[in-house]
C-alpha cells in the first residue's frame, strides 16, 4: 500500500476518473453559473454583458432579503429540531430500548425514504381546513376551538413546514447520532456509573462530550440541507401565501426559469453559496473553540 501511495502515476490513475467526473458535474457548472452573474438574458433572447448591475440589483431587492431572512429562520428552527430530537431518540435507543431498538429505529427511519411530494400531500390533508376538515383542526374542534387556516398566513405555514421537515428527518439524525453514541466505550460508562453518574449527569458529563464530533457532523449536515431547502417548500406551499415562505432557492429558481433571468438568478445562487459557506465555517470554528476549551 505504501508503494502504491508513493507512486504519483498510480495516484493519478486511481483518482483521475473520479476527479474528471467531479469536475464535469460540479466544478464546471459552478464556474459557468459564476460567469452568468455579469450578464443578463437567457438562451432564447441571448446574453448582454452588464458588469456588476446584478449585484447592485441584489443589494436593493427586498424580496431577496425577505428570502434570506426566511431561509435563516427556517434553517435555525429545523436544525435545532432535527438534531435535538434526533439526539433524544439516539439516547432512547442506546440507554432505554438497547438491543430491542432495531424495530423502533426502522419505523422512525421510514419517513426518510418517503418521497417529498407524498409527505407534503399527507401534511396538507392533516392540516386542511377546507373543503374537508383535517385531523389537526378536528382535534382543535373537539376541544371547543375554531379551525385554523394553517396555510393562510406565513407564520402558520412556516410552523407546518418546520413540523413536517423535522418529523421526516429525525429518523436519519437519530441513527446518525446513535452510531456515535454506541462507539463510546462501555468501560468509560461503567466507570462513570461507579462514580455515581446516572441519568442526566451521565449524559451531560460523559456521553455529550464524547459524542460532540458526531453531533457537530449532524449539525453541519442539517444546516447545509436546510439552507438549501427547495422540494419541501415547492411541494407544500409553493412559497405562499404570497412570498411568505419563499427561501432563496425558490426565488432563484423562479427568477432563472420562470422569468428567464439567468444572470440575476445566478447572482442569487452565489449569495446562497456564500451564506452556506459562512454558516458552516462559523459552526466549525465555534465548535473547535469549545473542544479546545474542553
How many angstroms from the chain centroid is the CA of residue 229? 6
> CA 179 to CA 78: how far, in whole Å?
21
pLDDT of residue 286: 78
pLDDT in tens, the chain (294 residues): 556 556 677 778 878 888 899 888 888 888 899 999 999 999 888 999 999 999 999 999 999 999 999 999 999 999 999 999 999 999 999 988 887 888 999 999 999 999 999 999 999 999 998 788 899 999 999 999 999 999 999 999 999 999 999 999 999 999 999 999 999 888 888 888 888 878 888 888 889 989 988 998 999 999 999 999 999 999 999 999 999 999 999 999 999 999 999 999 999 999 999 999 998 888 878 776 655 555
**Which DSSP string corresponds to 202-270?**
HIIIIIHHHTHHHHHHHHHHHHHHHHT--HHHHHHTTT-STTTT--HHHHHHIIIIIS--HHHHHHHHH
The C-alpha angle with vertex 25 and arms to 23 and 27, in degrees rounded to 5, equals 45
pLDDT reported for residue 280: 85
Predicted TM-score of the model (pTM): 0.89
Considering just the CA atoms, what is the radius of gyration of the chain in Å? 24
132, with CB counted inside 10 A (0-12, 13-18, 19+), is: exposed
Question: How far is Cα 64 from Cα 56, in angstroms, rounded to an integer?
Answer: 12
pLDDT in the model for residue 167: 96
193 φ/ψ angles, rounded to the nearest 5 degrees: -65, -40
Q: Write down the pLDDT at residue 194.
A: 84
Any residues with CB less than 8 A from the CB of 260 and at least 6 apart, and which?
A: 41, 42, 44, 45
- Please give the DSSP secondary-structure letter assigned to residue 146: P
Distance CA 227, CA 251 (A): 13
Please tell me the distance from the alpha carbon of residue 150 to that of residue 147, in angstroms, as a whole number. Answer: 9
pLDDT at 131: 80
The b-or-e profile of 201-215 (16+ CB within 10 A means b, else e) is ebbeebbeebbeebb
Which CATH number is correct for 2-293, 1.10.10.60, 2.60.120.10, 1.10.3720.10, 3.40.50.720?
Answer: 1.10.3720.10
Q: What phi and psi values does residue 48 have, to the nearest 5 degrees? A: -125, 130
**104's grid cell:** 423502533
DSSP string, 114-144: S-HHHHHHHHHHHT--SSS--HHHHHHHHTT
Amino acid at each position: 500500500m505504501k508503494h502504491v501511495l508513493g507512486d504519483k502515476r498510480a495516484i493519478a490513475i486511481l483518482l483521475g476518473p473520479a476527479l474528471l467526473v467531479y469536475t464535469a458535474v460540479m466544478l464546471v457548472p459552478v464556474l459557468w453559473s459564476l460567469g452568468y452573474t455579469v450578464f443578463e438574458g437567457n438562451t432564447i433572447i441571448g446574453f448582454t454583458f452588464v458588469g456588476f448591475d446584478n449585484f447592485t440589483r441584489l443589494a436593493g431587492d427586498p424580496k431577496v432579503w425577505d428570502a434570506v431572512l426566511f431561509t435563516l429562520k427556517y434553517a435555525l428552527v429545523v436544525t435545532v429540531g432535527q438534531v435535538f430530537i434526533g439526539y433524544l431518540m439516539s439516547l432512547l435507543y442506546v440507554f432505554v430500548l438497547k438491543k430491542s431498538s432495531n424495530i423502533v429505529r426502522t419505523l422512525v427511519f421510514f419517513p426518510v425514504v418517503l418521497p417529498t411530494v407524498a409527505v407534503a400531500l399527507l401534511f396538507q390533508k392533516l392540516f386542511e381546513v377546507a373543503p374537508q376538515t383535517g385531523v389537526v383542526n378536528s382535534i382543535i374542534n373537539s376541544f371547543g376551538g375554531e379551525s385554523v387556516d394553517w396555510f393562510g398566513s406565513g407564520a402558520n405555514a412556516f410552523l407546518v413546514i418546520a413540523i413536517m421537515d423535522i418529523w421526516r428527518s429525525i429518523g436519519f439524525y437519530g441513527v446518525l447520532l446513535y452510531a456515535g453514541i454506541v462507539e463510546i466505550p462501555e468501560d468509560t460508562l461503567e466507570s462513570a456509573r461507579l462514580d455515581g453518574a446516572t441519568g442526566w449527569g451521565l449524559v451531560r458529563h460523559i456521553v455529550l462530550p464524547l459524542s460532540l464530533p458526531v453531533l457537530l457532523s449532524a449539525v453541519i449536515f442539517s444546516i447545509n440541507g436546510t439552507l438549501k431547502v427547495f422540494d419541501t417548500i415547492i411541494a407544500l406551499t409553493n412559497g405562499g401565501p404570497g412570498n411568505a415562505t419563499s427561501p432563496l432557492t425558490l426565488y432563484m429558481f423562479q427568477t432563472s426559469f420562470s422569468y428567464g433571468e439567468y444572470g440575476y438568478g445566478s447572482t442569487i445562487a452565489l449569495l446562497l453559496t456564500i451564506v452556506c459557506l459562512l454558516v458552516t465555517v462559523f459552526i466549525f470554528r465555534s465548535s473547535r473553540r469549545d473542544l479546545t476549551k474542553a
